Amino acid sequence: MSLTFQISHAEFLLLLGLLELPRPFALGQGTSSSRSALEGALSAAAGSLAARDLLTLPSQANMPPTPHPELATLVRAVALAENMLIVASGPPTRLSHLSWSGRNIVLHSSPAPDVHRLEAIASPEQAVQQVMSRLLPSALAEPMITTPLRMSGETLLTAFNALQRGDEAAAASALHQSCRQQEAARVFVETIGPQPARYALAALRGARQSQPEARGALVIAGQTGGWWAAPASDNTDSLLVWPVGLSGLQARVSELGLWICEAA
Protein backbone atom coordinates (compact mmCIF):
# COMPACT_ATOMS: atom_id res chain seq x y z
CA MET A 1 0.00 0.00 0.00
CA SER A 2 1.39 3.39 -0.97
CA LEU A 3 1.87 6.13 1.59
CA THR A 4 0.07 9.27 0.43
CA PHE A 5 -0.87 12.56 2.06
CA GLN A 6 -2.87 15.45 0.63
CA ILE A 7 -2.44 18.83 2.30
CA SER A 8 -3.20 22.47 1.57
CA HIS A 9 -0.63 25.12 0.71
CA ALA A 10 -1.01 26.72 4.16
CA GLU A 11 -0.54 23.31 5.80
CA PHE A 12 2.65 22.78 3.79
CA LEU A 13 3.99 26.18 4.88
CA LEU A 14 3.18 25.39 8.50
CA LEU A 15 4.98 22.05 8.33
CA LEU A 16 8.05 23.67 6.77
CA GLY A 17 8.18 26.14 9.63
CA LEU A 18 7.71 23.52 12.34
CA LEU A 19 10.39 21.30 10.79
CA GLU A 20 12.72 24.29 10.15
CA LEU A 21 13.05 23.44 6.48
CA PRO A 22 13.78 25.69 3.48
CA ARG A 23 11.02 26.44 1.00
CA PRO A 24 11.39 23.83 -1.74
CA PHE A 25 11.41 24.63 -5.43
CA ALA A 26 8.52 22.21 -5.87
CA LEU A 27 6.26 24.25 -3.61
CA GLY A 28 5.85 27.11 -6.08
CA GLN A 29 4.59 30.52 -5.08
CA GLY A 30 1.04 29.70 -4.04
CA THR A 31 -1.51 32.42 -3.38
CA SER A 32 -0.10 35.68 -2.01
CA SER A 33 -1.75 37.14 1.08
CA SER A 34 -1.22 39.73 3.80
CA ARG A 35 0.60 38.90 7.04
CA SER A 36 -2.62 38.81 9.06
CA ALA A 37 -4.29 36.60 6.46
CA LEU A 38 -1.26 34.28 6.44
CA GLU A 39 -1.29 34.02 10.23
CA GLY A 40 -4.97 33.18 10.13
CA ALA A 41 -4.38 30.58 7.42
CA LEU A 42 -1.56 28.95 9.41
CA SER A 43 -3.71 28.83 12.53
CA ALA A 44 -6.51 27.19 10.56
CA ALA A 45 -3.95 24.82 9.00
CA ALA A 46 -2.82 23.67 12.44
CA GLY A 47 -6.40 22.90 13.41
CA SER A 48 -7.07 21.08 10.14
CA LEU A 49 -3.94 18.92 10.43
CA ALA A 50 -4.70 18.13 14.06
CA ALA A 51 -8.26 17.12 13.18
CA ARG A 52 -6.86 14.59 10.67
CA ASP A 53 -4.28 13.25 13.17
CA LEU A 54 -1.46 14.73 11.09
CA LEU A 55 -0.34 17.10 13.86
CA THR A 56 -0.13 16.50 17.61
CA LEU A 57 -0.85 19.63 19.62
CA PRO A 58 1.43 20.18 22.64
CA SER A 59 0.32 19.63 26.21
CA GLN A 60 2.30 22.73 27.26
CA ALA A 61 1.79 26.17 25.75
CA ASN A 62 5.53 26.79 25.20
CA MET A 63 6.05 23.63 23.14
CA PRO A 64 5.57 23.42 19.35
CA PRO A 65 3.15 20.95 17.72
CA THR A 66 4.59 17.67 16.43
CA PRO A 67 3.92 16.69 12.79
CA HIS A 68 2.94 13.14 11.87
CA PRO A 69 6.32 11.34 11.51
CA GLU A 70 5.67 9.80 8.08
CA LEU A 71 4.29 13.05 6.69
CA ALA A 72 7.32 14.85 8.11
CA THR A 73 9.60 12.41 6.27
CA LEU A 74 7.95 13.17 2.93
CA VAL A 75 8.03 16.94 3.52
CA ARG A 76 11.75 16.72 4.38
CA ALA A 77 12.45 14.72 1.22
CA VAL A 78 10.77 17.39 -0.93
CA ALA A 79 12.42 20.32 0.85
CA LEU A 80 15.91 18.78 0.92
CA ALA A 81 15.84 16.98 -2.43
CA GLU A 82 19.28 16.40 -3.94
CA ASN A 83 17.90 15.15 -7.25
CA MET A 84 14.63 15.91 -9.03
CA LEU A 85 12.63 15.07 -12.12
CA ILE A 86 10.18 17.86 -12.92
CA VAL A 87 7.31 17.38 -15.35
CA ALA A 88 5.26 20.30 -16.63
CA SER A 89 2.26 19.32 -18.74
CA GLY A 90 -0.23 21.44 -20.61
CA PRO A 91 -1.95 23.40 -21.72
CA PRO A 92 -3.18 24.27 -19.13
CA THR A 93 0.12 24.00 -17.27
CA ARG A 94 0.39 21.53 -14.39
CA LEU A 95 3.60 20.81 -12.46
CA SER A 96 4.68 17.57 -10.81
CA HIS A 97 7.97 16.69 -9.16
CA LEU A 98 9.81 13.52 -8.25
CA SER A 99 12.21 14.31 -5.42
CA TRP A 100 15.12 12.10 -4.30
CA SER A 101 16.58 12.75 -0.82
CA GLY A 102 18.78 9.96 0.49
CA ARG A 103 16.75 6.77 0.15
CA ASN A 104 13.43 8.59 0.02
CA ILE A 105 11.63 9.24 -3.28
CA VAL A 106 8.49 11.39 -3.23
CA LEU A 107 6.06 12.25 -6.01
CA HIS A 108 4.72 15.76 -5.38
CA SER A 109 1.77 16.82 -7.51
CA SER A 110 -1.04 19.37 -7.33
CA PRO A 111 -4.48 17.92 -8.13
CA ALA A 112 -5.99 21.40 -7.58
CA PRO A 113 -4.66 24.93 -7.01
CA ASP A 114 -2.98 25.28 -3.59
CA VAL A 115 -3.40 21.55 -2.91
CA HIS A 116 -0.33 19.34 -2.57
CA ARG A 117 -0.29 15.56 -2.88
CA LEU A 118 2.79 13.77 -1.50
CA GLU A 119 3.25 10.09 -2.33
CA ALA A 120 6.11 7.88 -1.21
CA ILE A 121 7.68 5.96 -4.10
CA ALA A 122 9.31 2.61 -3.36
CA SER A 123 11.99 2.50 -6.06
CA PRO A 124 13.42 4.34 -9.08
CA GLU A 125 11.61 1.84 -11.32
CA GLN A 126 8.28 2.71 -9.69
CA ALA A 127 9.14 6.40 -10.07
CA VAL A 128 9.48 5.97 -13.83
CA GLN A 129 6.20 4.03 -13.93
CA GLN A 130 4.44 6.86 -12.09
CA VAL A 131 5.78 9.42 -14.54
CA MET A 132 4.56 7.34 -17.47
CA SER A 133 1.16 6.38 -16.08
CA ARG A 134 0.13 9.67 -14.45
CA LEU A 135 2.18 12.52 -15.87
CA LEU A 136 2.79 11.64 -19.52
CA PRO A 137 0.52 10.56 -22.42
CA SER A 138 -0.93 7.08 -21.86
CA ALA A 139 -1.15 6.19 -25.57
CA LEU A 140 1.19 7.01 -28.44
CA ALA A 141 1.26 5.13 -31.73
CA GLU A 142 4.58 3.76 -32.93
CA PRO A 143 6.24 6.22 -35.36
CA MET A 144 5.95 5.86 -39.11
CA ILE A 145 9.49 7.20 -39.63
CA THR A 146 12.72 7.11 -37.63
CA THR A 147 14.37 10.27 -38.97
CA PRO A 148 14.74 13.14 -36.50
CA LEU A 149 14.13 16.76 -37.34
CA ARG A 150 16.78 19.37 -36.51
CA MET A 151 15.42 22.81 -35.69
CA SER A 152 15.77 25.73 -33.31
CA GLY A 153 13.68 26.01 -30.19
CA GLU A 154 12.03 29.08 -31.68
CA THR A 155 10.94 27.12 -34.76
CA LEU A 156 9.48 24.33 -32.63
CA LEU A 157 7.59 26.84 -30.48
CA THR A 158 6.24 28.62 -33.57
CA ALA A 159 5.02 25.34 -35.05
CA PHE A 160 3.50 24.21 -31.75
CA ASN A 161 1.65 27.49 -31.26
CA ALA A 162 0.33 27.32 -34.83
CA LEU A 163 -0.97 23.80 -34.23
CA GLN A 164 -2.57 24.98 -30.99
CA ARG A 165 -4.53 27.46 -33.11
CA GLY A 166 -5.40 24.69 -35.55
CA ASP A 167 -3.32 26.36 -38.28
CA GLU A 168 -1.52 23.38 -39.80
CA ALA A 169 -0.45 25.39 -42.85
CA ALA A 170 1.43 27.91 -40.67
CA ALA A 171 3.08 25.09 -38.74
CA ALA A 172 4.19 23.41 -41.97
CA SER A 173 5.51 26.71 -43.32
CA ALA A 174 7.61 27.35 -40.19
CA LEU A 175 9.12 23.87 -40.35
CA HIS A 176 9.77 23.94 -44.10
CA GLN A 177 11.65 27.23 -43.79
CA SER A 178 13.89 25.86 -41.04
CA CYS A 179 14.28 22.12 -41.70
CA ARG A 180 15.92 20.33 -44.58
CA GLN A 181 14.00 17.10 -43.92
CA GLN A 182 10.82 18.08 -45.73
CA GLU A 183 9.19 14.65 -45.54
CA ALA A 184 9.81 14.39 -41.79
CA ALA A 185 8.40 17.89 -41.33
CA ARG A 186 5.26 16.87 -43.20
CA VAL A 187 4.86 13.77 -41.01
CA PHE A 188 5.37 15.91 -37.88
CA VAL A 189 2.43 18.15 -38.77
CA GLU A 190 0.22 15.24 -39.83
CA THR A 191 0.85 13.12 -36.72
CA ILE A 192 0.52 16.01 -34.26
CA GLY A 193 -2.49 17.78 -35.75
CA PRO A 194 -4.42 20.57 -34.02
CA GLN A 195 -4.33 21.33 -30.28
CA PRO A 196 -1.50 19.02 -29.18
CA ALA A 197 -0.34 18.54 -25.59
CA ARG A 198 3.21 19.13 -24.45
CA TYR A 199 5.21 17.76 -21.54
CA ALA A 200 8.45 19.41 -20.46
CA LEU A 201 10.86 17.27 -18.43
CA ALA A 202 13.79 18.63 -16.43
CA ALA A 203 16.16 16.32 -14.55
CA LEU A 204 18.45 17.84 -11.90
CA ARG A 205 21.34 16.20 -10.08
CA GLY A 206 22.88 17.91 -7.07
CA ALA A 207 20.01 20.40 -6.89
CA ARG A 208 21.25 21.82 -3.57
CA GLN A 209 24.77 22.41 -4.88
CA SER A 210 25.97 25.67 -6.39
CA GLN A 211 26.17 24.19 -9.90
CA PRO A 212 23.67 21.36 -10.36
CA GLU A 213 23.75 19.14 -13.44
CA ALA A 214 20.68 19.35 -15.63
CA ARG A 215 19.11 17.57 -18.58
CA GLY A 216 15.86 18.42 -20.27
CA ALA A 217 13.47 17.27 -22.95
CA LEU A 218 10.11 18.18 -24.43
CA VAL A 219 7.42 15.68 -25.47
CA ILE A 220 4.77 16.80 -27.94
CA ALA A 221 1.80 14.44 -28.13
CA GLY A 222 -0.74 14.71 -30.92
CA GLN A 223 -3.62 12.85 -32.48
CA THR A 224 -1.71 9.94 -33.97
CA GLY A 225 1.85 10.26 -32.69
CA GLY A 226 4.41 11.95 -30.53
CA TRP A 227 7.84 13.56 -30.76
CA TRP A 228 10.71 13.85 -28.27
CA ALA A 229 12.77 17.05 -28.47
CA ALA A 230 16.14 17.41 -26.75
CA PRO A 231 19.27 19.54 -27.30
CA ALA A 232 21.60 18.30 -30.02
CA SER A 233 24.95 17.01 -28.76
CA ASP A 234 27.10 19.22 -31.01
CA ASN A 235 27.15 22.30 -28.73
CA THR A 236 24.76 24.26 -30.95
CA ASP A 237 21.40 25.80 -30.10
CA SER A 238 19.64 23.19 -32.23
CA LEU A 239 17.11 20.65 -31.05
CA LEU A 240 16.81 17.11 -32.37
CA VAL A 241 13.13 16.17 -32.54
CA TRP A 242 12.64 12.41 -32.73
CA PRO A 243 9.39 10.60 -33.60
CA VAL A 244 8.49 8.44 -30.61
CA GLY A 245 5.89 5.85 -29.66
CA LEU A 246 4.92 4.73 -26.18
CA SER A 247 7.71 2.14 -25.89
CA GLY A 248 10.33 4.62 -27.07
CA LEU A 249 9.02 7.26 -24.68
CA GLN A 250 9.28 4.83 -21.77
CA ALA A 251 12.88 4.05 -22.69
CA ARG A 252 13.84 7.72 -22.84
CA VAL A 253 12.14 8.56 -19.53
CA SER A 254 13.83 5.54 -17.94
CA GLU A 255 17.17 6.86 -19.16
CA LEU A 256 16.51 10.18 -17.41
CA GLY A 257 15.51 8.35 -14.24
CA LEU A 258 18.63 6.21 -14.28
CA TRP A 259 20.78 9.29 -14.84
CA ILE A 260 19.31 10.85 -11.70
CA CYS A 261 19.71 7.65 -9.71
CA GLU A 262 23.41 7.45 -10.55
CA ALA A 263 23.90 10.36 -8.18
CA ALA A 264 21.24 9.41 -5.65
Beta bridge pairs of residue 238: 152
pLDDT at 33: 57
Regions in the chain scoring below 50 on pLDDT: 1
Encode burial over 235-253: b for 16+ CB neighbours within 10 A, e otherwise.
Answer: eeebbebbbbebebbbebb
pLDDT tens per residue across span 179-192: 877 888 888 999 99
Residue 141 CA, chain-centre distance (Å), reads 23
pLDDT at 103: 87
pLDDT at 209: 83
pLDDT at 1: 44
> CA-CA distance, 118 to 103, in Å (whole number)?
16
pLDDT tens per residue across span 163-210: 999 999 999 999 988 887 788 888 899 999 998 999 999 999 988 888
* Cβ–Cβ < 8 Å for 112, 99: no
